[in-house]
Amino acid sequence: MTQLPQKNHLKVLTYNIHKGFNLSNRRFVLEQIRQGVHQVNADVVCLQEVCGFIAPVPGTELHQKWETQFEYVADQTWPHYTYGKNAVYEGGDHGNAILSLFPIVKNQNLNISTNKYESRGLLHAVIEIPQGGERINLLTTHMNLLESSRNIQLDLISNYIKKNIGPSDKTIFAGDFNDWRCILNQEFYTRLQFKEAFLETSDRNPKTFPSIMPILPLDRVYYSGFKVEHTQVLNGYNWNKLSDHLPLLTEFSW
């Protein structure tokens, strides 16, 4: 049985799971990813490059019980989840997903694609904490590879957040930002007053890519309305043998 977290405390995991394949795309490792994610015991899980429908992978048991990768990862631990379908192709689709211990009372997927080669989205969910009825905004995205495209997406994302989330609302924005030059830190703070969790605890963005020898800080956790209690790049378990990214764990209080 899933245990509820301590009051006024939220543990968040964000992870680009590479559609369930390892760094070289040669092994399907979704089961190992699922086991690792469950060991973390996060209250909320933000996933990028997660498949909705996908044709069965030979040698796996995924489609005997679950149709989607995010349902497979959620299993019985995270009873509430939402999926934003972004890329659709022959044999399947993928996008972003949010898994939650708490009820999701609102969700929306914003199309932030800027070209025909990269289908991207911003997934927004609002969860409600049973103890006290606190509502928290959760956002996750996977931004484009080119900085010029990310600048367009930055405008789309900022405008959406300003229209849909109040400046005093509790918000967590996690994902794969592909921002290896770390330009978005200042942009999100200037436009939205969002801070980056790892900058608050270690004065540097976490290096997460490639997982086997991480040198680029592509994944982030931005936030507003919280106190950061803990940040960690997960590099134990077998994380460097799974996806091409390492996952990030953050803990917040209020």
- Count of the separate structural domains present in the chain: 1
In a domain, 89, yes or no: yes
Q: Which range in 22-26, 59-63, 127-131, 173-177 is most confidently predicted, on average pLDDT?
A: 173-177
pLDDT level of residue 65 (50, 70, 90 thresholds)? very low
Provide, rounded to the nearest whole percent, the portion of the chain with pLDDT above 70.
93
Q: What are phi and psi of 215, to 5 degrees?
A: -125, -15
In a domain, 88, yes or no: yes
**Higher per-residue pLDDT: 26 or 166:** 166
CA distance 72 to 35: 11
The tens digit of pLDDT for each residue in 210-226 reads: 999 999 999 999 999 99
Least confidently predicted of 4-8, 86-90, 119-123, 178-182: 4-8
Span between the terminal Cα atoms of the chain, in Å:
26
Q: Is the dihedral of CA 41, 227, 176, 164 positive or negative?
A: positive
- List, in sequence order, every residue forming a beta bridge with 81; answer none if it has no partner: 99
In a domain, 18, yes or no: yes
In a domain, 138, yes or no: yes
In a domain, 5, yes or no: no
- List, in sequence order, every residue forming a beta bridge with 209; answer none if it has no partner: 216
**Higher per-residue pLDDT: 100 or 3:** 100
In a domain, 4, yes or no: no
In a domain, 3, yes or no: no
- Residue tagged 């149709």 (tokens): 67
* pTM given for the model: 0.93
pLDDT of residue 1: 42
According to DSSP, residue 158 is labeled H
Domain range for residue 162? 11-253
Q: How many residues does the chain have?
A: 254
In a domain, 183, yes or no: yes
pLDDT of residue 118: 95
The tens digit of pLDDT for each residue in 111-156 reads: 999 999 999 999 999 999 988 889 999 999 999 999 999 999 999 9
Residue 90 has pLDDT above 60, yes or no: yes
The tens digit of pLDDT for each residue in 146-156 reads: 999 999 999 99
CATH code for position 32: 3.60.10.10
The tens digit of pLDDT for each residue in 37-50 reads: 999 999 999 999 99
